[in-house]
């Protein structure tokens, strides 16, 4: 990707402005402010943050790339899963908000601890921590890869520099700065990608004529992985939201139960352009760039063709910043989980730390440690795609325990322990033979074991 001086200056200026803004917003925090923004976040900030983090740069880039290669199938599957998950969370958000406020919960593990036992908190927290360390490592790799297109620095050194900057930023600023800077990224991406780029693409008669003559298979909703992938991707993607702790944190950060539900209903509407738009951009890239371009850079190439260098710089900066924001959210999850579900229960038998000041310090140290684990993993394992699929979908092992404990008043800690441990064991076993689908038998086994032991 070739960038002119103006684009590079805009990107650097944008990122510096975001870091400074986040640093200023993150001042004078207590523990509750660091983890859940004192449970008083305005609805707009939560909607913008939800879209930026969960339907942000990674989804836009991936959907555009797959739409270029295989057509509408992957994007429709992702759209169905995202919209379905937001509907489910809109239904359960008031329940989670009430429970979180009543028990002062900030993590999934703390909910497990209050429903089941301290042991259940440690076991569930350990699984969440491991998964989100992996997810953060993936964001570090994505950030360094994209920045490598902007600055001429060797990738390994760039990985360390960019990751350390993100770790320090997150450990200082907490979730409050994440919410505010997410709103900036959201507005910029909405203006540049949806408000400017897509209209410019659609105004090109060559694109409109080319879309009509694309191969028929690109319009087949099952072209990416067949009917099984389409149906399975949506059905398994929906309950995954129940164990996505970044969503739980934003529910806990809402003002009240009504706001918590409205946030997800608003996110459904606001997410649609960011789900449909990349499909259109990927197909348009097929027309503009031909069928032999690099799919991973089709979004950037289309932006470069259609946007003035200044707007291209702003748009690329926003994409980089959203990756930073997603890494920030992932680190907040792993750091909070390490501090609240693993270290505190292990050292104080589940009792809170003595003061909010010491609790904030512990949370920041835990975030630094979690970020350090992710950086070490990113440096050792440069290919994480299959492992990430297994790990992230592996969180579904927690779904039976969440549903049973919150909605059916099951309080059997043995059921949780054996459900989680058996689910992990089966997932790891099947990962040897079917790495991309190993979470399916793992989830089934965890549900069956939970039901049998809880009876």
pLDDT for res 355: 44
- pTM value is 0.86
- pLDDT band for 383, please (50, 70, 90 cuts): low
366 and 170 Cβ atoms separated by less than 8 Å: no
Helices in 190-256 by DSSP H: which ranges? 198-202, 205-212, 226-240, 245-253
How many angstroms separate the CA atoms of 322 and 316, rounded? 10
- pLDDT band for 362, please (50, 70, 90 cuts): confident
> What confidence tens digit (pLDDT) does each residue in 440-453 have?
888 899 999 999 99
pLDDT for res 350: 44
Question: Rounded to whole angstroms, what are the CA distances from 14 to 45, 152, 317, 418?
Answer: 19, 19, 6, 48
Whether residue 421 is predicted with pLDDT greater than 90 in this model: the reply is yes
> What confidence tens digit (pLDDT) does each residue in 49-91 have?
888 877 766 678 888 988 999 999 999 998 998 899 999 999 9
Tell me the domain boundaries of the chain. Answer: 5-382, 385-455
262 and 28 Cβ atoms separated by less than 8 Å: no
Q: What angle do CA 242, 278, 205 make, to 5 degrees?
A: 160
How many angstroms separate the CA atoms of 119 and 112, rounded? 9
> What confidence tens digit (pLDDT) does each residue in 242-289 have?
888 989 999 999 999 999 999 999 999 999 998 899 999 999 999 999
- pLDDT band for 356, please (50, 70, 90 cuts): very low
> Mean pLDDT score of the chain, rounded to an integer?
85
> What confidence tens digit (pLDDT) does each residue in 112-161 have?
999 999 999 999 999 999 989 988 888 887 777 777 766 666 667 878 88
CATH topology of domain 5-382: Sodium/glucose cotransporter (1.20.1730)
444 phi and psi, to 5 degrees? -60, -45
Identify the bridge partners of residue 254 per DSSP, sorted by sequence position: 41
pLDDT for res 357: 43
């Amino acid at each position: 990707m070739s960038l002119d001086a103006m684009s590079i200056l805009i990107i650097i200026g944008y990122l510096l402005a975001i870091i400074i803004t986040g640093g200023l917003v993150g001042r004078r925090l207590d523990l509750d402010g660091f983890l859940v923004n004192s449970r008083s976040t305005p609805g707009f900030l939560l909607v913008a943050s939800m879209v930026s983090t969960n339907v942000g740069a990674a989804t836009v880039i991936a959907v555009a790339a797959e739409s270029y290669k295989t057509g509408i199938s992957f994007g429709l599957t992702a759209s169905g899963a995202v919209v379905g998950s937001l509907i489910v969370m809109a239904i359960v958000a008031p329940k989670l908000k009430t429970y979180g406020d009543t028990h002062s919960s900030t993590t999934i593990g703390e909910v497990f601890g209050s429903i089941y036992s301290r042991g259940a908190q440690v076991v569930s927290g350990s699984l969440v921590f491991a998964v989100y360390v992996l997810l953060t490592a993936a964001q570090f790799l994505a950030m360094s890869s994209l920045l490598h297109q902007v600055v001429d620095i060797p990738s390994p050194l760039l990985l360390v520099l960019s990751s350390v900057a993100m770790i320090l930023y997150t450990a200082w600023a907490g979730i409050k700065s994440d919410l505010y800077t997410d709103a900036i990224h959201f507005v910029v991406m909405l203006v540049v990608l949806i408000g400017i780029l897509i209209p410019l693409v659609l105004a090109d008669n060559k694109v409109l004529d080319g879309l009509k003559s694309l191969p028929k298979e690109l319009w087949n909703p099952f072209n990416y992985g067949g009917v099984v992938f389409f149906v399975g991707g949506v059905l398994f993607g929906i309950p995954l939201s129940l164990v996505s702790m970044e969503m739980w944190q934003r529910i806990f950060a809402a003002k009240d139960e009504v706001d918590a539900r409205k946030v997800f209903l608003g996110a459904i509407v606001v997410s649609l352009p960011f789900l449909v738009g990349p499909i259109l951009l990927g197909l348009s890239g097929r027309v503009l760039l031909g069928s032999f371009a690099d799919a991973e850079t089709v979004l950037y190439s289309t932006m470069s063709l259609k946007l003035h260098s200044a707007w291209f710089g702003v748009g690329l900066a926003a994409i980089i910043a959203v990756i930073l924001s997603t890494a920030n959210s992932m680190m907040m999850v792993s750091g909070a989980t390490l501090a609240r579900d693993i270290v505190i229960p292990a050292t104080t038998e589940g009792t809170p730390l003595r003061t909010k000041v010491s609790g904030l310090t512990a949370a920041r140290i835990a975030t630094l440690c979690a970020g350090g684990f992710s950086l070490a993993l990113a440096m050792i394992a440069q290919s994480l795609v299959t492992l990430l699929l297994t790990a992230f979908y592996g969180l579904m092992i927690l779904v039976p325990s969440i549903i049973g404990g919150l909605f059916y008043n099951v309080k059997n800690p043995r059921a949780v322990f054996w459900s989680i441990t058996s689910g992990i064991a089966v997932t790891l076993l099947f990962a040897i033979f079917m790495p991309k689908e190993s979470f399916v038998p793992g989830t089934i086994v965890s549900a069956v074991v939970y039901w049998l032991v809880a009876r």
